[in-house]
Structure 1
Amino acid sequence: MNFANTPSFANQGLQPGSRLLLCVLASLALLVGDSQYGLMEKARDAVSVVLYPLQRAANVPLNLAMQAGDYFTAQAALKHENDALRERDLVQSSHLMRMSALEKELQQLRRVNALAAQPSYAGVVAEVLYTGRDPFSYRLIIDKGSDSGIASGQAVIDENGLIGQVTRVQPLSAEVTQVINRNFTVPVMIERTGHRALLYGFGGGVEVRYLPISTDIRENDLLVTSGIDGVYLQGIPVARVKQIDRLGGAAFARVRSEAIAGVQSSRFVVIMPNRHPPLAAIPAPPAAASKSDKKSP
């Protein structure tokens, strides 16, 4: 094949110097025309419109990365804030419960102090420390003992009614047997009629036993101390009648009652003084003493 007559692409058209000159002249013309007459403004607008989607598409990865970073940062901040709020809520809830308990104790202490200040119920205010070792014995340990003038047999009340009786005394503490103890008995009377009866504890509650079936007693009747035993003042609320069972052919009615005092909830109690203080030892007559002296050698 003869390549001698084949035209060369390098030899076609203008020379490189001429092309450069034309490009420079065209650039200068465009610069002058654009600066003086704004010839390229519309072209730039058209190009920017065409290239805008490409610009947005090029910025998508960067925007997604920034949004993902902001999302995770916000989630971490929200989790930290949520944890802090939850912890603060728990602390405030515990403080609120403690304040509620303290307010309740304060109100009860005020009522008990007001009760102890009354002449008919004058006594010593004591705080319940804990219950007895046997939870089914229904005994309380209080923070007052013989050093505070507490003696066995004294009645113990709260702002609602009779709690029980002091059964054991130590120098700094005392044991109180509650009315719901199964070995506890209180002489009571029906406040509405004045009929006397005996109230027995049965281990967690109280009931009236050996009450004639014909006795006038009704539900919601208030049972108060009768005062005939010489231990309790008359009229201290003890229980309220809840249910009366009159079985056919039975000689006695069964009366279930509910203790009025806070036997399971009172924090402060009043120990009332004995109605009859113990008798002092009676001294020997002088004559007997003199005779005994004469007989001695």
Structure 2
Amino acid sequence: MPLVGHQPPPIFRRGPAPLARLFVFVALCLALLVADLRFRYLEVLRNALSVVTYPLQMAASTPADVVRNATRYFGTLVDVQLENADLRRLQLDAGERLLRFEQLEQENLHLRELLQMSERVQTKSIAADILYNAPDPFARKVILDRGTQQGVEAGLAVVDANGVIGQVTRVHPVQSEVTLLTDRNQSIPVSVVRNGVRGVLYGVGRGMLEMRHVLAEVDIQPGDRLVTSGLDGIFVPGLPVATVTRVDRDQDAFARIECEPLAAIERSVQVLVIGRAAYPPPPPPPEPAGGR
């Protein structure tokens, strides 16, 4: 007996043709675009989607923002450090220039004062600079940058703009040694400006001086100014030397007179070496009584 025709059911059912589906989707998209453009039907949907996707957008952009901000921070930090280094360098340069200017101004002031001192002195003077202190720890001596080649001689007086600082005690061709007024082995004949009282000034160390060989009853008092008397034939008369600071009149025959030097002995840099005082020639000896 022949079997009735029977076919198995198809596993996959065929839908509309792909081209038809394409036209349907295109038409749907165009309809949505026109409706949204004219009636804003999708505005609410877009806003909702933007709110929902905002955390995702922020999470996605965070690494890039971190890298960008870190790059900007470190770039700014490097720029600030370089700028600070430039400013510090400029500040140091400006401070150095200001210091040099102040030193030059102070040096010019000292030189002008020395020029005035040189004009007051009627003998030849030699400008010199103090190089350094002598290495002897038990003496107050300095070394000048002038010697025999510049006309410096042993025994000449040395002054700064304020007064006597010492005496040349040793001379070399291009340098010379000066024993300061405050050295214990140094002495200088002086007189009081106010009344002409004479004495000898000695160094006693500690930056101080002492006037000796003055009787206790002699009129001398604190504040009196002392100048060179010129009796030794070395120091020009009238050079400022010291100021009396204390007078002790005990039971001794001689007064104890403490003095402070007028010159900046421990701080002077530019000085003058003063030539020997010029004295008129001695008068001729008297003729014999019967000679003609």
Q: Which TM-score tier does this pair reach, normalised by the shorter chain?
A: 0.7 to 0.9
**1:109: which partner in 2?**
111
TM-score (norm. length: structure 1): 0.75
Aligned-partner Cα distance in 2 for 1:244–1:60: 90
Alignment of structure 1 residues 192-231 onto 2, 5 Å: 192-205=194-207, 206-231=209-234
Aligned-partner Cα distance in 2 for 1:133–1:24: 108
C-alpha spacing 1:73/1:16, structure 2 compared with 1 (3 Å): farther
Q: 8 Å contact 2:123–2:278 — kept in the other structure?
A: no
Aligned-partner Cα distance in 1 for 2:248–2:71: 77
Shift of residue 162, structure 1, vs aligned partner: 0.7
Aligned-partner Cα distance in 2 for 1:109–1:218: 33
Q: AA paired with 2:219? A: D
Segments of 5+ residues of structure 2 without an aligned counterpart are: 1-10, 282-292
Aligned-partner Cα distance in 1 for 2:243–2:121: 25
Aligned-partner Cα distance in 1 for 2:32–2:270: 103
Shift of residue 23, structure 1, vs aligned partner: 5.2
Shift of residue 191, structure 1, vs aligned partner: 2.0
Segments of 5+ residues of structure 1 without an aligned counterpart are: 1-9, 280-297
C-alpha spacing 1:226/1:117, structure 2 compared with 1 (3 Å): closer
Q: AA paired with 2:87? A: L
| Number of residue-to-residue matches in the alignment | 266
Q: 8 Å contact 1:167–1:175 — kept in the other structure?
A: yes
Say yes or no: does 1:236 pair with 2:210.
no
Aligned-partner Cα distance in 2 for 1:239–1:17: 128
Say yes or no: does 1:93 pair with 2:103.
no
**1:40: which partner in 2?**
42
Q: 8 Å contact 1:160–1:260 — kept in the other structure?
A: yes
Aligned-partner Cα distance in 1 for 2:59–2:257: 90
1:264-287: CA deviations, max 9, x gaps?
Answer: 22222222221258x9xxxxxxxx
Shift of residue 238, structure 1, vs aligned partner: 0.7
C-alpha spacing 1:181/1:28, structure 2 compared with 1 (3 Å): same
Q: Structure 1 residues 211-220 or 172-181, which shifts more?
A: 211-220
Say yes or no: does 1:149 pair with 2:160.
no
**1:187: which partner in 2?**
189
Q: Structure 1 residues 217-226 or 53-62, which shifts more?
A: 53-62
Structure 2 SS opposite 1:120: coil
Shift of residue 46, structure 1, vs aligned partner: 4.2
Structure (1 or 2) with the greater helix fraction: 1
TM-score (norm. length: structure 2): 0.76
CA-atom RMSD in angstroms: 3.2
Aligned-partner Cα distance in 1 for 2:185–2:219: 26
Identity %: 38
